[in-house]
A and B are shown apart, each in its own frame.
Chain A
Amino acid sequence: MTQSATDTQWPRWEVFKQDAPNRPYQAVGSVHAGDPDHALLTARNVFVRRPSAVSLWTVRESDILTATPEEIAARAEVLETPGEAGTYHVGLKRTHKRSMTFVDLVGTVEASGPGDALRQAREQYPDALTWLVFPKSAVVRTDDDPGTVESWFAPAKDKTYKQQQFYGVIGKHVGELKREGRMPQRVNEEPHVGEQKVYDHPHDKAPKVQR
């Protein structure tokens, strides 16, 4: 990514988390950090406070190449993106469903560069919504030694207060309201005042004539 001279932000690192041995690494979000060690430490604090994990990777955002089918259709030269030859990790976004995880890493390819890796990812997984590739050499990862696993990842497993049920309920429990049919079906249900729809979000297009 290009940075303007006035941009004082630290580089962005994408964080990949493994929940358990033999599970795929999944992209969970990003952190800003001054260097690889700092990126890992903040990633642990931001993404492993409560969910369980056994391993974390961070990859500098500028080392990652991503593309959607639409982007490749519009700009086929992305498949020619030059770079180092070697082993590349391949990640896929396969669903529009919103969740904590965005991309699953599905394997590696041997490629002559990032563009070639992207091309291979597209051939192997034609149905993906987004392909993501980065060189294996770009991964900064936590140690597998028991000491690290104990101090970085084990404490989160004991934190039972992450369960919503741990907290006392003031008023009615959500389950009760649901059974009575008094909960909105979707959390992002459009707001109403009485019968009147309220259009107050900047992205909503308010109809010209409402009444």
Chain B
Amino acid sequence: MMEPITTLTPTQTEALIRKLTALADDEIILAHRDGEWTGHAPILEEDIALANIAQDELGHATLYLDLRRALDGCDADRLAFFRGADEYTNVRLVELPKGDWAFTMLRQFLFDAYEALWLSAAQKSNYVPLAEIAAKAVREEKFHLQHTALWVERLALGTEESRRRMQNALNELWPHVAQLFAPLPGEADLVAVGILPELEKVRASWESFVLPHLTEKCDLLLPMVPAQAQEGREVHTEHLAPLLAEMQSVARQHANAEVW
């Protein structure tokens, strides 16, 4: 590890704010999609499990936004509840409608693997506040990953119906994974000084974990899709705006409330 970084240049600060916000946005939107299962999951135990996972993801968003607040004094609640779809910077993978249980478990698996490996690498960041929260969050993420990897396997190798649903989910989700590994403007500079993990390396370890699980263990077929993400994080599907409308409705109706 390089020497700890204690002061950031204005350009670095701007880039880090952008990155922390994107990380938090992914978590907030995914948590909302998971939360949509509350009361609807296949069995009570899984209802509880997915609600727990959703809460953990929201907790991680809070960790990221706390780091951002240290840089620019932002208000996490205002960022979550008063930005529109055009200001959110989540990946499109997490905003797609929740779909069936196979879709939900596969999306969570793909994201958990990415998040666990990114956090694992971020533990070595020489920006100490990031290294600290990564060490904290990675523990939960490793557990999520076990849970969702198990579901992907059980459904892929289950019945004809469950296998069909899992393969459909993979076909639908796979084109969206490349965006997880697309660097943001200014990110390369933060990687160069050891503040952020290099996404290409995270992608390599993600592939060496995810691909054998999907193809060898679960006997699924990987769709042929371009390896590069098409557009940036400012471009969303038509599904994000309705999600935000629901998620933000109470906050916007009571904009002067003191706490949420």
Give B47-70 interface residues, CB cut-off 8 Å to A. 48-49, 52, 56
Residues of A within 8 A of B (CB-CB), count: 22
CB distance from B140 to the nearest CB of A (A): 5
Could you say which residues of chain B place their CB within 8 Å of the CB of A202?
none
Contact A168-B259, Cβ < 8 Å, known A38-B150, A38-B154, A45-B48: yes
Contact A34-B49, Cβ < 8 Å, known A45-B147, A151-B140: no
Cβ of A110 under 8 Å from chain B? no
Binding site for B on A (CB under 8 A): 10, 31-35, 37-38, 41-42, 44-46, 49, 147, 150-152, 154-155, 158, 168
Contact A10-B43, Cβ < 8 Å, known A41-B49, A49-B52: yes
Interface string of B114-145 (1 = CB under 8 A from A): 00000000000000000000001001111100
CB distance from B44 to the nearest CB of A (A): 8
Could you say which residues of chain B place their CB within 8 Å of the CB of A33?
45
Interchain CA distance A46-B52 in the complex, whole Å: 9
17 pairs, A vs B, C-beta closer than 8 Å: A10-B43, A31-B45, A33-B45, A37-B150, A42-B48, A45-B48, A45-B49, A45-B147, A150-B139, A151-B139, A151-B141, A151-B143, A152-B143, A155-B136, A155-B139, A155-B140, A155-B143
A42-B48, A46-B45 are known; give 10 further A-B pairs, CB within 8 A. Answer: A32-B44, A35-B154, A38-B150, A45-B147, A147-B142, A150-B142, A151-B140, A151-B143, A152-B143, A155-B143
* A158 near B146: Cβ-Cβ < 8 Å: no
Interchain CA distance A150-B56 in the complex, whole Å: 15
Cβ of B200 under 8 Å from chain A? no
Give the contacting residue for A45; candidates B52, B139, B142, B259; CB below 8 A. B52
Interchain CA distance A160-B24 in the complex, whole Å: 22
Most B CB contacts (10 A, CB to CB) among A33, A34, A45, A150 go to: A45
Contact A41-B43, Cβ < 8 Å, known A49-B52, A150-B139, A168-B259: no
Could you say which residues of chain B place their CB within 8 Å of the CB of A158?
136
Interchain CA distance A45-B150 in the complex, whole Å: 14
Could you say which residues of chain A place their CB within 8 Å of the CB of B150?
37-38, 41
The residue of chain A having its C-beta at the shortest distance from the C-beta of B45 within the complex is: A42
The residue of chain B having its C-beta at the shortest distance from the C-beta of A35 within the complex is: B154
Cβ of B14 under 8 Å from chain A? no
The residue of chain A having its C-beta at the shortest distance from the C-beta of B116 within the complex is: A151
Could you say which residues of chain A place their CB within 8 Å of the CB of B259?
168
Interchain CA distance A169-B195 in the complex, whole Å: 41
* A46 near B49: Cβ-Cβ < 8 Å: yes
* A151 near B43: Cβ-Cβ < 8 Å: no
* B139 near A154: Cβ-Cβ < 8 Å: yes
